[in-house]
Amino acid sequence: MSTDRKSSDTDRPHGGWRDWLADLGLRGFVATMRLLPVRTRLRLTSWLFRRVFAPALGYHARVAGNLDHVWPGTPDDEKRRIAEAAIDNLARALIENYDPQEMLARGAAYPVGGPGLAAFEAARAEGRPVVLLSGHYGSPVCARCALVARGYEVGGLLRAMSNPYSNARYVQNYRDVGEPVFVQGPGGLKALLRHVRGGGVLAMLFDVFDSSGVPIDFLGQPAPTVTSPADIALKTGALLIPYFGIRRADRYGFDVVLEEPIAHGDPVEMMREATLRLEARIEADPGQWMWTHRRWKPKRQKKRQRKRAAATM
């Protein structure tokens, strides 16, 4: 799962001693957690994030700010409940990513279903490409693992981490789940398009802030949204299928749901439909979405609007 970076962090050079130390700490944490049985590992990582790391990073305040932005009037106790669940989900997803073999084994044990499964299976039988589209909800990585465990080759698209030391392990984790893996960028895009045009399956997320994106209302507020998933589907003739890895109440098991494909048409309208599908999942269980993410950045959006207005005067 992606995380936000502060502007001061993105402005500084990366690959220096601070990144090395941060990666050393992460490696030590992961190695220690990996000594524990998986369920204990998940519970302990969740507790540490909720009680130690999240307060230090201001995550509870960020969740509350996002909820105030889209759902004003949410009671304080409900904000706390959603924040606790969202941080728990984030913590579990983080430590899960460092044990691909366990995720693949778990993926084989839990069900894959939904109204889009038949369309997905038919496309694979025909050799038609598929773009699987999700958000930072539940565990999209576990959902990919469930399909890979059933013998499907599902390519993954990811954004490189700013820390090059941590990024190497991050990319390898995706590759350990299954090839091919594409890193966002010009080279990755070309390879990705070749893969999909050749009849491949690609899994990608779309609910990240992108300054070049099209403003589409998300939970009632405009959020710059990429149209690239729809563009890829239109260029390659791929089915565009929303999919979700939904955590069960025990926070260990999950259900993979493939929804009805999104009809081809205007790419903005296709992404608006994808957004509606994700919204429905969040409204049903808000604690499974990554509310710690800076999805809207309203101040930055207003600043960009003022600049555009000034340029047209």
Residue 154, phi then psi, degrees to nearest 5: -125, 110
d(C-alpha 112, C-alpha 60), whole Å: 33
Give me the pLDDT at residue 12, please: 56
Q: What are the sequence ranges of the domains in the chain?
A: 103-311
For the entire predicted model, the pTM comes to: 0.91
Give me the pLDDT at residue 246, please: 98
Give me the pLDDT at residue 67, please: 98
Q: State the 10-residue block means of pLDDT for the chain, 313 residues long.
A: 43 80 95 97 98 96 97 97 98 96 96 98 97 97 96 93 91 93 88 96 95 94 96 98 97 97 98 98 98 91 72 69
**What are 262's strand-pairing partners?**
240
Nearest residue to 80 (alpha-carbon basis) of 252, 300, 291, 305: 291
Give me the pLDDT at residue 9, please: 47
d(C-alpha 278, C-alpha 69), whole Å: 18
Q: Which residues contact 131 (CB under 8 A, 6 or more apart)?
A: 196, 201, 202, 204, 229, 232, 233, 236, 238, 239, 240, 241
Nearest residue to 120 (alpha-carbon basis) of 265, 289, 288, 256: 256
Give me the pLDDT at residue 301, please: 75
Q: Do residues 71 and 120 touch, judged by C-beta distance below 8 A? A: no
What's the distance, CA 85 to chain centroid? Answer: 16
Give me the pLDDT at residue 2, please: 43
